[in-house]
Chain A
Amino acid sequence: MTNANPTIRLRGLSKSFGDKKVLDGIDLDVATGTSMVVIGGSGSGKSVLIKCILGLIEPDEGVIEIDGIDVLKAPREQRMELRSRIGMLFQNGALFDSLTVWENVAFGLLAQKKCTRSEARERAAGVLAQVGLAASVGDLSPAELSGGMQKRVGLARAIAAQPEILFFDEPTTGLDPIMGAVIDGLIVDCVKRMGSTAIAITHDMASAVRIGDRAAMLFKGRIVWEGLASALLDSGNEMVDQFTHGRREGPIQMELRK
């Protein structure tokens, strides 16, 4: 770990697909060594938001600063370098299906040439154990795993190289409640012990309160509320209240997604 100071700062981030405005002027700050939980309805643009920060989707407008570097204006090499400091768990796992599970987990380590194949294999087994998978799972191919297991392998791959910044897209979706709690603990561990900065998207309020320092709610492409994650369940904001308590009546009406 370097002593760098990764802080994520977003200003006026906007993105449309065709004439559909997905992000509409997002302002958000994530302080170094803290975790931000992002909640919001399905299709509200949460995944698009972190893909923009990662540089996988080019936003139409706005500023993204990581570590004080203006990502969108930075030269290609620097963007690549920055991206390699970020670990990402994709919503669908995105495991490489032509490789075995342990090669997936060790992929970042091997790519950075920080260790030999046999060392990488040992470290992969260690990380797999952290997400509750036996070392023997390492020899299977991703297609042989259940959905929840794939998610955990994706998580293991994201944290294996101990990146300074971590993005989790629904880390506990598809896991049983106990495993969900274990994964939450692991995420808290990464943030607290390794000092990583994290953004986590989740639909699970218990998990949001467990892993987040702060929380933000996304609705119609805007941040409608931001505050302490511990205040999520009684925030005083009508929209957040309706969302966190899962009520049908309230300011948020179900509408057909365009």
Chain B
Amino acid sequence: MTAALDFVAWLGRFVLAACTACGRLALFCVSGLSHIVRPPFYGRMFLRAIIDIGYTSLPVVALTATFTGMVLALQSSTGLSRFSADSAVASLVVLSVTRELGPVIASLMVAGRVGASIAAEIGTMRVTDQIDALSTLSTNPMKYLVAPRLLAGLIALPLLVLIADILGVMGGFIIATVKLNFNTQTYLRNTLDFIQTDDVVSGLVKAAVFGVLITLMGCYQGYNSKGGAQGVGQATTSAVVAASVLILAFDYVLTEMFFAR
């Protein structure tokens, strides 16, 4: 009997804690986003964030996207040839990359790189009183630290994904023509005929949402970290894990919204 009560109490506490955490995160997100549109604006911080998030992630994203396209062409051709449907390789590659793999893989890579570094930087600022110092110097930390990064994530991720899309399709094209002996002209025509604006746009919208998720989790975990180096380490891990899980969850929700009619 008491064990059952204990369990109910534990469950209650767990649910309450989960609700509190969600509420806090939501408030943090609204506050951060609202600071994007209210002056003063910190152009310098925004530029730095764009370079950190977008420019320095280029090599990783480019490499992963190219390899993903290559693998996709190889796998789909072996699979599809069993149904003598080789001609579908081009359309399969372009659809998978633009709708799904481009946004998700690029975002997961960026979550690992950028989510961690944002959480570590802001977390260190928290535990060394630098965030407190900001507010004594007429500067709102949400505006100075969080808003520029959220905006940078919102803008940089779609750009990165656009590049990932192009490179992914190119990777598939190279493997298909060089290794699998597809006809160059036919493959290109199949690719271009099949792709629609919606496919690319939906991928870019996903990327923008993922960009906000990545930077949001980095900022939130860093901002609320406590307890020295260990706390910062924990914040970093949580930021990456939470961002990755949220990316996949939102990927499902957004796909449902765009394509399930």
Contact = CB atoms under 8 A, between A and B. Distances in A.
Contact of A84 (B40, B125, B129, B137): B137
25 contacts: A51-B132, A54-B136, A83-B135, A83-B136, A84-B136, A84-B137, A84-B138, A86-B136, A87-B136, A88-B133, A88-B136, A91-B129, A92-B129, A95-B133, A96-B130, A96-B134, A107-B137, A107-B139, A108-B138, A111-B138, A111-B139, A112-B138, A157-B133, A157-B137, A161-B137
Contacts of A96: 125, 130, 133-134
A91 B129 CA distance: 9
B51 to A, nearest CB: 13
Contacts of A113: 40
Interface string A54-90: 1010000000000000000000000010011011101
A98 interface: yes
A94 B135 contact: no
Interface string A37-51: 000000000000001
Interface size class of B (residues with CB under 8 A): 10 to 19
B140 A80 contact: yes
Interface in B126-157: 128-130, 132-140
B128 A92 contact: yes
Contacts of B135: 56, 80, 83
Contacts of A95: 130, 133
Contacts of A107: 137, 139
Contacts of A80: 135, 140
Contacts of A157: 133, 137
Contact of B133 (A84, A90, A112): A90
Nearest to B139: A111
Mostly, the B contact residues are helix
Interface size class of A (residues with CB under 8 A): 20 to 34
Contacts of A83: 135-136
B199 interface: no
Interface of A: 51, 54, 56, 80, 83-84, 86-88, 90-92, 94-98, 107-108, 111-113, 157, 161
Contacts of A56: 132, 135
B16 to A, nearest CB: 19
Nearest to B130: A94
A80 B141 CA distance: 11
A103 to B, nearest CB: 10
B50 to A, nearest CB: 15
Contacts of A112: 138
B20 to A, nearest CB: 17
Interface in B106-129: 121, 124-125, 128-129
B127 to A, nearest CB: 10
A98 B121 CA distance: 9
A113 B139 CA distance: 11
Contacts of A54: 132, 136
A164 to B, nearest CB: 13
A81 B141 CA distance: 14
B171 to A, nearest CB: 37
A94 B137 contact: no
Nearest to A167: B136
A199 to B, nearest CB: 13
A108 B135 CA distance: 10
A87 B137 CA distance: 7
